[in-house]
Amino acid sequence: MGNNWLNIIQDYLLPPTCVFCGNAGYLQRDLCQPCLQQLPLNQPSCFQCGARLNTADLVGIPCGHCLNQPPAFDHTLAPFIYHDAIRHLITGLKFRADYKNARLLGQLLAHHVQQSTIDKPQLILPIPLHRSRYRERGFNQALEIARTVGQALQLPIDLSSCQRQRDTPHQTGLSAKERRKNLKNAFRLTQAIKADHLVLLDDVMTTGTTVNELARVLKKAGTRRVDVWVCART
């Protein structure tokens, strides 16, 4: 853990330099303007689940999947497609502990929140890791991204109200049905959350099963509105 914190401090103190080409950063980010313009935007997308749409005519109404199986969460902001450069940033953070990527992903996500017209939540709840997965990795990538987002938007981060009580297997390769079974009863609230409107924050959304399970728990406990912010959508 000591080395992890040292890496975090070093990454945050270094001057902005593009993580892709090495040129000077743009707008105090570790990303230059030409590389910024190459990031794969998730537009148009379903406002509820964030899935890519084939036509902008459907923006503002739920997609077919959300109409048939309404999710427990209310709105999703997923500015990028999980592809190419964005995938490189997320996998670099998650599997190689490139903490500067968390700062950049947080800055990009916060920027898109600021540019949107969505209602501001009362707090951010990063998707929690099971304690065994946290010990293995040494950090929670969702929390590292949330730190930058919370600071930029002046929103508190809730680290204590929710716990991942089961160390669920990785979701990769599982069908939607298997994902739902895998995550059933995976989360529990450790204390009441005093917020009518909160946002769940994660790095990437695939089927939405994880955020849907946690949103279901929160709604059952009395939270009125649960939104989802992720850096990317598959």
> pLDDT per residue over 94-144, tens digit each?
999 999 999 999 999 999 999 999 999 999 999 999 888 888 889 999 999
List the structure tokens of 187.
């989360």
CA 45 remoteness from chain centre: 16
What span, in angstroms and rounded, lies between the C-alpha atoms of 203 and 86? 10
Please provide the size of the chain in residues. Answer: 234
Amino acid at 104: L
Domains observed in the chain: 42-233 (3.40.50)
Q: Is the peptide bond before 169 cis (omega within 30 degrees of 0)?
A: no
**pLDDT by 10-residue block (mean), the chain, 234 residues:** 57 79 93 97 95 81 93 98 97 94 97 95 96 88 97 97 80 62 84 95 95 97 98 97
Q: Are 108 and 77 in contact (CB under 8 A)?
A: no
What span, in angstroms and rounded, lies between the C-alpha atoms of 60 and 226? 18
Give the per-residue pLDDT at 186.
87
What span, in angstroms and rounded, lies between the C-alpha atoms of 191 and 226? 17
What span, in angstroms and rounded, lies between the C-alpha atoms of 10 and 76? 33
Instruction: Give the DSSP letter of residue 38.
Output: T
Give residue for tokens 């049905």.
177
Give the per-residue pLDDT at 1.
47
What span, in angstroms and rounded, lies between the C-alpha atoms of 129 and 131? 6
What span, in angstroms and rounded, lies between the C-alpha atoms of 97 and 101? 9
Give the per-residue pLDDT at 51.
95
Q: Are 190 and 162 in contact (CB under 8 A)?
A: yes
Give the per-residue pLDDT at 11.
56
Q: 162-164 and 75-77: which strand pairing?
A: unpaired
* Sign of the dihedral defined by the CA atoms of residues 65, 68, 71, 75, in that order: positive
Give the per-residue pLDDT at 96.
94
Q: Are 149 and 109 in contact (CB under 8 A)?
A: yes
